[in-house]
Amino acid sequence: MFAPFTRSDIRKYSLNVLRNKIRCGLPSCPVCNTQPYLFRRHQARPRKFRILCDALVQVVKCLVIRWKCPGCHKTFTEQPPFALPFKRYTSDAILHRSASYLEDETSTYRKTVLEEGSEIFHASTDEGNTPVDKVLSHTTPYRWIDTLGRFKEIPRRALDLILQKDPATKVYRDLAALTISPNKFVKTAREETLKRSRRLVHLEAVFRVVFGASIFPFFATGCAWQ
């Protein structure tokens, strides 16, 4: 469902940044409405991403582009194809682990951070493969789901686009049927967050089938990550 991004994928993207092969994929400037094809490359800054590989949390270094609008001189960061804003883990890890919690009524946050029943350890050094005495915390997927549940414009636009492409789709009915186990929340506000997160995860799967692409990050960028 969520193809994992590898160390090789991230390094390839970083190399393309160095070779100036990345075209601006941002929407029009939200300040002055300047078209993105006029944006100029401002800088490429280093950033570390975390991937889940071989039951380890491994760190991979990458370059991320910031673009400058010539109209108002504001600068904007373009998310790589494997990233979500302000998240260190790759999007596939976030979506996969979130889905495993939301789709399984018996799943818990602690089960979500296990790999075949074993804890997932952090690697000892950047891009290293030796585990240390630090495991992936069960609070991490809690925060991932909290972030997914805040998006409102992204699922609305994704649903509209799916309906335009396939008017006979049953996605509306499917979304309405999605529920959350009472064991997963105490307050109504948390229940609503979990529902929105599950609907977005479901829409992501449908979006991939209909358009052969993920909602994240490019479509979400066009929605201003709202």
Task: Tell me which H or E stretch contains 17.
Answer: helix 7-18
- The band of 127, judged by pLDDT with boundaries at 50, 70 and 90, is low
Mean of the per-residue pLDDT values for the chain? 93
Is-contact 65 22, C-beta < 8 A?
A: yes
Whether the full predicted model's pTM is greater than 0.85, yes or no, is: yes
- The band of 96, judged by pLDDT with boundaries at 50, 70 and 90, is very high
Q: What is the pLDDT of residues 3-12, one digit of tens each?
A: 789 999 999 9
- The band of 128, judged by pLDDT with boundaries at 50, 70 and 90, is low
Average pLDDT over residues 93-107: 95
Q: Spell out the alpha helix ranges (H) of 31-181.
A: 91-102, 109-112, 139-148, 153-165, 171-177
Average pLDDT over residues 155-181: 94
Q: What is the pLDDT of residues 176-223, one digit of tens each?
A: 999 999 999 999 999 999 999 999 999 999 999 999 999 999 999 999
